[in-house]
Amino acid sequence: MKIVSIALSKKKGTRKQCIDRAELVKEHGLLGDAHAGEWHRQVSFLAAESIDHARNRGLEVTFGDFAENIATAGIEWTAIPVGTRFQIGRSALVEITQIGKECHNKCAIYYKAGDCIMPREGVFARVLRSGEIRTGDELVRLDTPAAV
């Protein structure tokens, strides 16, 4: 299980720009991202396999197009229960808080991509411990709550 891409945006409802590394900030989210803040959806995750599946259906999409912060390989996010914790990289720690989301309006992502898979296949987390993350970093699922 590893990070394939990291992406952020300055405005909500827009595709995100990919970067090589970022800072996850405790109880805030991805530093510089519009979705960061004091709430339960500080960071979003989407499986790279889901993005590949969208491409195979004919959508011209890439990492960041679904407004995901972190795309991963080797994790089926919709099968991960709320409350599960992951260590990312050397020190960051996140806890899954929500699976999927409800979209009230079709956003720019829907119109650009022709579909938005985040509501069905994305998950959200809050940051329990700060740390730098990089593309290629491993995610380690923690079976028991770790010290924060």
11-56 confidence digits (pLDDT tens)? 887 789 999 999 999 999 999 999 999 999 999 999 999 888 888 8
| pLDDT number for residue 133 | 98
Map out the domains of the chain with their CATH numbers.
Answer: 2-142 (2.40.33.20)
Q: Which two tokens stand for residue 122?
A: 């994305």
Per the listing, tokens 């990289």 go with 89
| pLDDT number for residue 53 | 84
Q: Would you say residue 147 has pLDDT above 80?
A: no
Closest to 44 (Cα-Cα) out of 16, 79, 68, 24: 68
| pLDDT number for residue 136 | 98
- Cα dist from 67 to 14, 51, 83, 100, whole Å: 6, 12, 22, 13
Say how far apart CA 63 and CA 97 lie, in whole Å: 22
- Cα dist from 3 to 11, 57, 113, 143, whole Å: 23, 23, 22, 20
Dump pLDDT digits (tens) for 101-135: 665 565 555 556 555 666 577 899 999 999 999 99
